[in-house]
Every structure is written in structure tokens, then in C-alpha cells.
Amino acid sequence: MILLNSDTETRPTEAMRRAIAAAEVGDEQKDEDPTVRRLNERVAALLGKEAGLFLPSGTMCNLIAVKVHTQPGDLLLADSDAHVLRAEGGGAALVSGVQTEPIHAGDPGRAALAPGVFGPEALAAALARVQALPMPYAPRPGIVCVEQTHNFGGGSVWPLSTLTTLAESARARGLAVHMDGARLLNACVATGVPAAAFCAPVDSAWLDFSKGLGAPIGAVLVGSREFIGRARRYKQIFGGAMRQAGIAAAACLYALDHHVDRLADDHDNARRLAEGLAALPGVTLPYGKPATNIVFVDVAGTGLSAGEFVARCTAAGVRLVPAAGRVRAVTHLDVDRAAIEAALEAVARALA
């Protein structure tokens, strides 16, 4: 089976497993694990923030960041297809009691931007909708979340200039700015913009190590020392504090050393995959050529639903995933160019 359903399908390499086996460890819950401490410092420096906090998942990074930045009843604004709104079980509402206001694809200024990306005009329009009445009727501002790269937007990249102007206007309106950077390093490799530059405009950000970076577990949330101090308390409360977590952090350090530059291969493979899929009768690319490692195809023209298309491909040995009426494919380090070509042949056979 060729696993193109997600970049979470990466398995730790032999060399990564050796790094895991050799890890120096301590009690992470007491902040005494030397490998976790090294990882936190390294990611904080890479993203240009004062401090970092190792967490079990990206979902917990978003959960804790929203909790630290908001009070119950505050507004959380994000793209209507943002992971934090669509794929985290309503955790922000459950844990932080925030009121969410989606920023829609049709909001002002968005037509000129990539899917999932929005600027100050769209933010202003969303706030005008939800804060039409004066205080004390309108909900208080809380947080705006941006996603770099944007998963359900087809791996689209927020340009630095858009991010900067959005963050300035958000802060002027009393909002904290949080970056879901699950695939931030894909954006860096695709554009050449350093991670610290992308993170300079935001208050908090995080990286996921269990996706294209190829580690089995882990994410690191970064921000000011004060923010991370408060985040550490919620990590404990939510049951995210660990013990000898250096065995997991060692894989993340290994990934930073060995699996970042190669993300460019995933982007090349995604472009080849997109081009090959779009050459099939009835298959189109709703978002055009992929910017990073995520490919969305529209299969309506094949006469099959997204679910039927995916089922046929699975039977032919290629796992894809239906997403919002379309089909998603994601490239990663366990799928090389030969596997991409084999997948394209298998999908063509499945449709024939």
C-alpha cells in the first residue's frame, strides 16, 4: 500500500531509532530531561521566541495556546477551514469556552489570496459582523489563529507580508495572534523565508514533529517566557506532562538535523503527483499547483464521489483521503519518486 493519505504515515528511520535509543533522559515533568530541554531551546531559537514547551501533540499546542491567550466568552477567529475549528473535537470551546467566528472564503480581500489565507480586510469584516453592537453586548476580542501551511487550503503558504499586516491589525484590535505551524518548516523550505521571520509577527507558534519531519511523537509550542510559564501549568493540568520523554525528543532533534532540507523533495513529489492526477480524465486541481506537500483534487468529472474514488484507489493499493467533497494526497519521506510514479499508474488503472 502506498500511503498518501497523510504525512503522519512516516515511520521512524533506522538512524532515528538509534538516536532514540541513545537519548539521555530525566524526569520531563520536573523539567529535568536534558534532551527535552535541548529540544525546547533549539525550537525556541529556530522560531525566534524566548522559550519552548515540548507537548505530545499539535492538538495540545493549539488547545493550550487558546487557553492561555483567552478568557471564557472571548472571540476566536480563524479561517472557516482551519484545523482548530474543523479537526480538534471542539476543544477550544470545551476547554476555553471561546466563541468562534469563522473567516469565510468570500470575506473581503480573500479572492486575491491563496486558500486559507486572509488579510486585515477579512479580519475587519468578521469583527464587524460579530461586534456590530457596542460593549457590553459584543463579545470581547480574544485570539486570531493562522495556519502555516494551511492544511485544508491545500498546503498553501501565508506570505510574510500578509502575515505581518494581519498581525498588526489584529493586535491593534486587542487580539492575540497564534500560529498553528504544524507544517511551518514546509513553508520555510518552499519560500526560503526563515522560521523566525514567519514567527516574528505572532505571539505564539508551534511545530509538529510527527508529520513530514518523520518523528513518531511530539510538538513544540513557543512564545514569551511568561506565555510558556502559563502554558506549562496547563500542560500539567491536561495530563500532557511526561517522564523520560527524551526518547521522543531525541527523534525530534534528529529530524531537525536530517529531515528539514529534504522537505523540498516532498514538494517536488507533490507537484509531480498533482500533474499526473490532473492528466487523468475528469480530475482537476481546484487550488492549482501545490505550493508544498499537500495535493487536493476534484474528482466530480470522473462521475465518482470523493469516497468512491478513494475506495477504488485503496483497492488498487494507493491510500488517499476524502476531504470536504474532494480528495487529498500528502507526500512525505516514506514516499519517494518511484512510489509516486507507481501510485499514478495504480490510480490510472483504478479509473480505467
Ligand X SMILES: *Cc1c(COP(=O)(O)O)cnc(C)c1O
Residue 7 binds ligand X (CB under 6 A): no
Under the criterion CB under 6 A, does residue 151 sit at the interface with ligand X?
Answer: yes
Q: At closest approach, how far in Å is the CB of 160 from ligand X?
A: 19
- Considering the complex, state which of residue 81 and residue 107 has its C-beta at the smaller distance from ligand X: 81
The nearest distance, CB 152 to ligand X, in angstroms, is: 8
Give all strands of the β-sheet with 99-103 in edge-to-edge order.
51-55, 219-223, 204-208, 176-180, 143-147, 75-79, 99-103
* Binding residue for ligand X, selected from 59, 80, 162, 204, defined by CB under 6 A: 59
- 234/49 Cα distance (integer angstroms): 19
Does 221 bind ligand X (CB under 6 A)? Our answer is no
Residue 101 touching ligand X (CB under 6 A) = no
d(CA 221, CA 93): 20
Asked if 210 is part of the footprint of ligand X (rule: CB under 6 A), the reply reads yes
- Answer whether 99's CB lies under 8 Å from 74's CB: yes
Grid cell at residue 127: 469583527
Q: Smallest distance, Å, CB 58 to ligand X? A: 2
* Residue 56 Cβ vs ligand X, minimum distance, rounded to whole Å: 8
Residue 100 vs 210, nearer CB to ligand X: 210
Confirm or reject binding of residue 58 to ligand X (CB under 6 A): yes
The pairing of beta strand 294-297 with beta strand 219-223? unpaired
Give how far Cα 169 sits from Cα of 44, 164, 312, 329, Å: 25, 9, 47, 34
* Total of chain residues touching ligand X, rule CB under 6 A: 11
Backbone angles phi, psi at 59, to 5 degrees: -55, -40
For ligand X, the closer CB: 116 or 276? 116
DSSP label at 75?
E
State which of residues 36, 207, 219, 306 lies at the interface with ligand X (CB under 6 A): 219
By CB under 6 A, tell whether 9 contacts ligand X: no
Does position 186 interact with ligand X (CB under 6 A)? The reply is no
**Of the residues 74, 107, 203, 208, which one makes contact with ligand X according to CB under 6 A:** 208
Per-residue binder mask for ligand X (CB under 6 A), 18-57, x = binder: ---------------------------------------x
**114 touches 291 (CB < 8 A):** yes
294: helix, coil or strand?
A: strand
147 binds ligand X (CB under 6 A): yes
Residue 148, classified by CB atoms within 10 Å of its CB into exposed (0-12), middle (13-18) or buried (19+), is: buried
Contact between 83 and ligand X (CB under 6 A)?
A: yes
To the nearest 10 degrees (0 to 180), the angle between helices 306-315 and 337-351 is: 110
Amino acid letter for position 105: A
CB of 53 to ligand X, least distance (A): 14
Of 318, 262, 264, the residue nearest 291 (C-alpha): 264
Whole-angstrom distance, CA of residue 316 vs CA of residue 88: 31
Q: Which is nearer to ligand X, 54 or 316 (CB)?
A: 54
| Paired residues of 178 in beta bridges | 145, 204
Instruction: Sort strands 318-319 and 2-3 into parallel, antiparallel or unpaired.
Output: parallel
What is the x/- site pattern for ligand X, positions 292-331, by CB under 6 A? ----------------------------------------
Residue showing the smallest CB distance to ligand X in the complex: 58
The binding site for ligand X (CB under 6 A) comprises: 57-59, 83, 147, 151, 180, 182, 208, 210, 219
